Amino acid sequence: MQTTLDDSWNERRLRRSDVAVLVLTSALLFGYSLFGGRPLTMHEGVLPQSAREMWQEGEWIIPLSGGRPWLERPPLPQWITIGVTSLVGTWDVWSVRIAPVLMGMAVVVMMAHLAAGCFGRSVGLLSGLLLATSFEFTNYAWLAEEDIFLCAVVTGAVSLFAYIEFFQARGEVESDLRFFGSRPWSVWGLFALVGMTNLAKGLVFGMVMALLPIVGFLLLSGDLGRIRRYLWCWGGLLTIAISVAWPIAAWFRHPDVLDLWTFDLFGRLSGNYTAINEPWWYYLEALPVALLPWPLFALLGLGVLSGKGLRERFSPERFFVLWAILPIFVFSLASGKHHHYLVQCLAPWSVLGAIGLKRVGEWIFEAPQWVRSPVAALLALGLPAAIAIGIWGEHLAGPSWLPTALLVGFPVLALCLGWSLRTRDGVLAMTTILTGVIASYMWVYTCELPPRDQCQDDTAFLQQVNDVVPEGTPVLVNADLNSMDAFRIHFYLNHQARCLHNLSFLLDERLEGDDFYLITRRRDAKKLTRIATIETIEESCRSRRESCPSDRLTLFRIHLDRSLPRLPGPTRVSPMQAMGREKGPVLPNPF
């Protein structure tokens, strides 16, 4: 079979130039979030602000929300965020997104190396590029959220297992299979990484995600010798020690955190956590979207590998098929589902996509020359795109010159693709495709996402608050708005924000003074007039998920009624209360 890929592409390791391509591509695409100007999304406020508050308070165990315990998730992402922002020296929107960019790059390079070792250099390089440009992966490498951190740990654990199984010398691994014996560094690392999955996001969740392909492969292999490598006392103790260290420390400080973890974990399984309940087929619909623009290639790759995967028990083909399917199948059994749970599953699908894309490329390179001509590509791709832009171009979000640029750009890319196919130049073909994909992502980030972001007007409001309130004057923030909104408000107001668990705490005897600035909803004005004289200073043009104008964030200047008694406030807020999963505590109601 003739292709333009020389024999070196079949080497089973990446070159330095390949790694450089992956790093530069990932840095360009993921790093665009550092300078694209998009404000923090609603979910993004949690990690940066809880990390900053831990750093400011010198608290390394309990993530904080306005001084309250935020124990939904373990603090590994906060620790990494603190480390990166400390090196940078600033807590800004761009600086808190550096760590997710680095995590995304690490996963891309890791998977490319693994795929190259199993299926050859060309598949390895393609796997990294497809993973980097998969919609769900790109999106979470842009965002300062925990998902990409968990993805890095889970992918690291499963990849290290694959290294042990497929690349490490058998004698080194099997030199001592006793339960209390010794194991090489790679096995120590595997057990450590499995334990670390419990530090990245949600207890048990990440560990199950990592263990499903590992345990599934070992059990289906039916080889007791392979299984005995991992039946190891010291490794098991290491995993347990790492995985339970933080939960135990958090429990000692807040024993009632068990209520929160029980609600979150078992609520997702049983359906009691109704906000994320989805039908069993949810991931069958969500996965193709998460893999865009590569889902058809991934499906083809699944078919290509399944044959050998079914026949050969110990093959990489079987392992990657199991890694792609088992987590999605098992997590489909739970009532609670969300598309961001797929981030941890995309790595094996990128390898399947690379295999499918390479197979399609081989078919096209062997097609008649008229099919591979620049004219055919221009007619098949460039002309329809130009017609679509001519019809709908004026409705595209972005600058006025964008339709013209697209009218020129799409035909040029089509001609380049056609030329690469005619000359059987796989590198030029992939470069052309990736140029179009990455340019599309940048357009989406800059032009399409901002108008859809319901936090835009609230962010502008918070920036106005910083301009209006005199420097050094604290602003009270009613945290009884939405637990995640409070994080964003505190982040943008920086050190000026002070948390009120709810409005009843305005009469807390620990609150000194009578005159304050307060951020809450407009609808709270009537309540406030019962205990204070109020003045409206600023208001958001539109708040996230508002049902009417009274839901809008508003800055009030208030003067508390001196005749009202100040009350002793509660000494603590429980983890369930801090997250809004449980009411209270409330001071004797002044309203």
pLDDT digits (tens, 9 = 90+) for 152-198: 999 999 999 999 999 887 766 677 788 898 899 999 999 999 999 99
The CA distance from 101 to 139, in Å, is: 10
The tens digit of pLDDT for each residue in 428-437 reads 899 999 999 9
Give, as one character, the DSSP assignment of residue 470.
Answer: P
The CA distance from 127 to 118, in Å, is: 11
Position 6 pLDDT exceeds 60: no
The tens digit of pLDDT for each residue in 444-468 reads 898 888 777 778 899 999 999 999 9
The tens digit of pLDDT for each residue in 454-511 reads 788 999 999 999 999 988 788 999 999 876 888 999 999 977 889 999 999 999 988 8
Tell me how many degrees the CA angle 564-566-567 measures, rounded to the nearest 5.
Answer: 125
The CA distance from 274 to 203, in Å, is: 19
Closest by CA position to 562, among listed 515, 524, 492:
515
The CA distance from 3 to 383, in Å, is: 28
pLDDT higher at 366 or 141: 141
The CA distance from 385 to 168, in Å, is: 49
Tell me how many degrees the CA angle 383-388-392 measures, rounded to the nearest 5.
Answer: 155
Burial of residue 319 (CB within 10 Å: 0-12, 13-18, 19+) is buried
**Per-residue confidence (pLDDT) for residue 1, from 0 to 100:** 32
- What secondary structure does DSSP assign to 393-439, as a single string? GGGSSS-TTHHHHHHHHHHHHHHHHHHHHHTT-HHHHHHHHHHHHHH
Give the mean pLDDT of 406-422: 86
**Per-residue confidence (pLDDT) for residue 7, from 0 to 100:** 37
Q: Which two tokens stand for residue 436?
A: 């179009």
Give the mean pLDDT of 117-140: 96
Position 8 pLDDT exceeds 50: no
The CA distance from 228 to 221, in Å, is: 12
Can you give the pTM of this predicted structure? 0.92
Confidence of residue 11 (pLDDT cuts 50, 70, 90): low
Give, as one character, the DSSP assignment of residue 557.
Answer: E
**Per-residue confidence (pLDDT) for residue 3, from 0 to 100:** 35
**Per-residue confidence (pLDDT) for residue 171, from 0 to 100:** 66
Position 145 pLDDT exceeds 90: yes
**Per-residue confidence (pLDDT) for residue 418, from 0 to 100:** 86
* Alpha-helix runs per DSSP H in 31-146: 32-35, 46-57, 76-88, 93-96, 98-119, 121-132, 135-142
Give the mean pLDDT of 245-251: 96
Position 4 pLDDT exceeds 70: no
Give the whole-number percent of the chain exceeding pLDDT 70: 96
The CA distance from 259 to 501, in Å, is: 20
CB atoms within 10 A of CB 270: 12
**Average pLDDT for the chain:** 90
**Per-residue confidence (pLDDT) for residue 397, from 0 to 100:** 77
Give the mean pLDDT of 114-123: 94
**Per-residue confidence (pLDDT) for residue 193, from 0 to 100:** 97
C-beta separation of 353 from 297 below 8 A:
yes
Which residue type sits at 468?
Answer: V
The CA distance from 42 to 454, in Å, is: 9
